[in-house]
Amino acid sequence: MQGGLRSFFLGGFECASQRRRDGTRLDLLASTGHERFAEQDYAQARAHGLRTVRDGVRWHLVETDPDVYRWSSWLPMLRAAQAGGMQVIWDLCHYGWPQHLDIWSASFVEHFARYSRAAAQLVKDETDTVPFFCPVNEMSFWAWAGGEVARMNPFTAERGNDLKRQLVRAYLASVDAIRSVEPRARFIVSEPLIHVVGGAVGPGEQSSAESYRLAQFQAHDMLSGRVEPELGGGREYLDIVGVNIYPDNQWYLNGSTIPLGHHAYRPLHEMLLEVWERYDRPVLLSETGSEGTARPYWLHHVCAEVLQAMQHDAVIEGICLYPLADYHGWDDDRICHAGLFSLPGVEGRRIPYAPLLEELKRQQALFSRAGRARDKQAG
């Protein structure tokens, strides 16, 4: 398949745009300063060997009126990436949508398809490279947070599966629309990678935990037509399987987080191998990171596990540091020190977090040597 990622290590710019319960619309591309300083941000990322990034198009700003597309919020970023030689995986819907649409309606899917087609056409008009898209980010998390427990828009309870199906419909329609414009387009499905175990002894608890754990694959299975084929899925809709892993992605059913190093904590390489063997598609760590002083250790841990999975013949496309820059918390606006770079200072200057940068450089060298060794062995 043509079109690959330009660097094994990627960076991701936080681009969430959902509404909070108090009605506030989040816009992380604005609050982190990335929309203003995209050119500098791309240059700084490239200077540290990150030649591919994840970034976002804000649908709610593009389509403020039905079927009228205003690209002023995105076009400068698209052109900055092109001018700076940056490859971008564009999120088309990262928890937010235009206020004139009802997310539960058929019209939502139809509008998303038309918007996706228009976005793909703009990329084709502006560049000659193979485009990468993540149509809908984290459908499973969104379905849980927005459709099951009412923590984010659309603030609905006990309709998580209904929302997941709707997001899958939108994803499938987006892929079809984009391919009608640009058949070379590549797609990444970005979903949480989790592990859940029963906290109590007994077959009932363990069975419930395993059912919950397996639900992490439901969106992938819908997209690929393994389950609910009436949604229109098929193997051709599953391109690169992106998985998002953070320190709190393992927990006891209805209980606390399982700490790294605990006997119940499942090794990441086993989880990656399960995804690879289940779908036989390239795997990308589409989001991973930690906060505060844990950042370099977490990267060290993740990289060691990825190497182990690759030694067992899993095809891993890359590791995306997410977020690449510090950001303001969704609920309380606190500064989350989770990035490789700080929030912007004067004229957009961001200060690297030295311990994480040092670990990144070490891992880049390690993976480069491992890649050369594999190439030599293959030759």
pLDDT along the chain (379 residues), means of 10: 87 97 95 97 98 98 98 98 98 98 98 98 97 98 98 97 98 98 98 92 83 97 98 98 98 95 96 98 98 98 98 97 97 95 94 98 96 73
pLDDT at 323: 98
pLDDT at position 379 is: 66
pLDDT for position 201 = 63
Count of H-run helices and E-run strands, the chain = 12, 12
Q: Quick check: pTM over 0.95?
A: yes
CA dist., res. 320 & res. 283, Å (int): 12
68: tokens are 């009228």
CATH number, span 9-190+283-378: 3.20.20.80
Distance between CA atoms of 28 and 45, rounded to whole angstroms?
A: 18
Chain mean position to CA 142: 12
